[in-house]
Amino acid sequence: MLYWRLSSFYLIYFTSLGVLLPYWGLYLHSLGFDAQTIGQLVAIPMATKIIAPTLWSWIADRTGEHVRLIRLGSIGALFCFLGVFYVEHFLAFVTVMIGFSFFWNACIPQMEVTTLAHLGEKKHQYTRIRLWGSIGFIITVTTTGYLLDKYGVYLVPYLLASTFALIFIASFTVPAPPEHTLANTTATTHKADSVIFWQLLKRRPVIVLIIAFFLMQASHTPYYTFFTLHLEENHYSREIIGYLWALSVAAEVIVFWGMHHLLRHFQLKTLLILCFALAAIRWLVVGYYAELMIVIVFSQLLHAASFGLYHGVAVQFMHHYFIGNTSSRGQALYSGLGYGAGGAMGTWLSGYSWSFLGAQISFTLAALLCIIAMILCAWGLEEIKTGKNKLT
């Protein structure tokens, strides 16, 4: 029962990403925004991740109210997003997107902490719960592609609003973490936790991880922002594009299902380096061979490594270093500086590189970021094997 209560939230939450990631840029393009402006608007949800998860996690670590914050975030995101139906101009879109994403970004870091708290010593099974989020993504990305081909891109905001309403409903199925895992709220403990947190931030492996997370997410931004447009320019239908997005996440699901075996037999450092190497290959083939369906299929299968394996390893790394009352801030750090800062900076710059340098150079730069991160990880990370849960 616990498995399904946790899994169902991931399933519903990631249905929203199945619409937002592949089709939001397409919707903005239909409104007449150019590539630079689309890059700026798509960067907003990522930019708010720099601040929002940290603020929400600061509250969560002091109150222990992780589940209530998930509910607050989901209802706040829904009401703010409804403003999309009443705005037309760039600055109005900016305002709505800031409000929506500030609340939306509260949910997942708290859900990660809640899930890991329930799993306890079985945290290597996290990916078997998280994979349901990928299944939710597959369902919506394929059905949305079909619906947009049949009825038009104007459906995108209506579909998104519907998924946000479902997220709020699903938040009431999430069980609170076991009582012994809740934050200690004394002032003395808060001060001690803050000291520990800042000491961890000074450790070389943690610094390397933060930089690597930043680079990996930045490398994904040409893909997340312009992949659909890139394929349309190479004469793929929206329905086929939806299937290709779904294929990538199907590969991710397979990795999530079997990842606990990988985590038990391989060092986290080795797995992370492999993720960066395969991500670099992925961006190069997308940039230079988009007209070849078989190559695009291959590149989408590499999503298993560039996101699926990478995300599972990243969560394990952060859970290894940030424990107890620092756990929520650790996950927020991964979300904020990786997905937030890396995503926002990468999306903003990819809008310009796409406009002035084109698809091939944009994806080449993305591959270069992965190569830099790979070298950095090989130099600066410790060997950690989750099966033993200690440094080796």
Q: Pseudo-torsion of CA 239, 242, 248, 253, nearest 10°?
A: -110
Quick check: 164 pLDDT over 80?
yes
Output the CA angle 177-49-228, nearest 5 degrees.
110
User: What is the pLDDT at residue 386?
Assistant: 62
Quick check: 163 pLDDT over 70?
yes
Quick check: 388 pLDDT over 70?
no
Which residue, 292, 306, 318, is CA-closest to 215? Answer: 306
User: What is the pLDDT at residue 109?
Assistant: 80
Which residue, 111, 48, 55, is CA-closest to 339? Answer: 48
User: What is the pLDDT at residue 218?
Assistant: 95
pLDDT greater at residue 67 or residue 179: 67
pLDDT class of 384 with cuts at 50, 70, 90: confident
Q: What is the pLDDT of residues 233-261, one digit of tens each?
A: 999 998 899 999 999 989 988 998 888 88
Mean pLDDT of the chain: 87
User: What is the pLDDT at residue 185?
Assistant: 44
The CA–CA distances, whole Å, from 3 to 115, 152, 168, 171, 253 equal 9, 37, 19, 15, 16
Tell me what the mean pLDDT of segment 128-150 comes to: 90
User: What is the pLDDT at residue 298?
Assistant: 98
pLDDT class of 269 with cuts at 50, 70, 90: very high
Quick check: 79 pLDDT over 70?
yes
pLDDT class of 36 with cuts at 50, 70, 90: confident
Termini Cα distance of the chain? 36
The tokens of 278 are what?
A: 């395969």
**Which domains, from first to last, does the chain contain?**
2-391 (1.20.1250.20)
User: What is the pLDDT at residue 128?
Assistant: 85
User: What is the pLDDT at residue 387?
Assistant: 53
What count of other Cβ atoms lies within 10 Å of the Cβ of residue 241?
Answer: 24
Quick check: 288 pLDDT over 80?
yes
Quick check: 183 pLDDT over 80?
no
Give the CA diameter of the chain: 62
Q: What is the pLDDT of residues 187-207, one digit of tens each?
A: 445 555 666 777 878 889 899
User: What is the pLDDT at residue 280?
Assistant: 98
> Sign of torsion, CA 8 11 17 23?
negative
Contact 225, 351 (CB under 8 A): yes
pLDDT class of 391 with cuts at 50, 70, 90: very low
Contact 14, 74 (CB under 8 A): no
The tokens 């993720």 sit on which residue?
275
Least trusted range by pLDDT, from 87-101, 124-138, 361-375: 124-138
Which residue, 334, 220, 229, is CA-closest to 290? Answer: 229
Tell me what the mean pLDDT of segment 60-77 comes to: 89
User: What is the pLDDT at residue 62?
Assistant: 79
Output the CA angle 220-221-222, nearest 5 degrees.
100
Helix (H) or strand (E) segment spanning residue 390: strand 390-391
User: What is the pLDDT at residue 272?
Assistant: 96
User: What is the pLDDT at residue 192?
Assistant: 54
Phi and psi torsions of 51, nearest 5°? -110, -45
Q: What angle separates helix 107-119 from helix 66-81, to the nearest 10 degrees? A: 150
The CA–CA distances, whole Å, from 43 to 218, 227, 363 equal 11, 15, 17
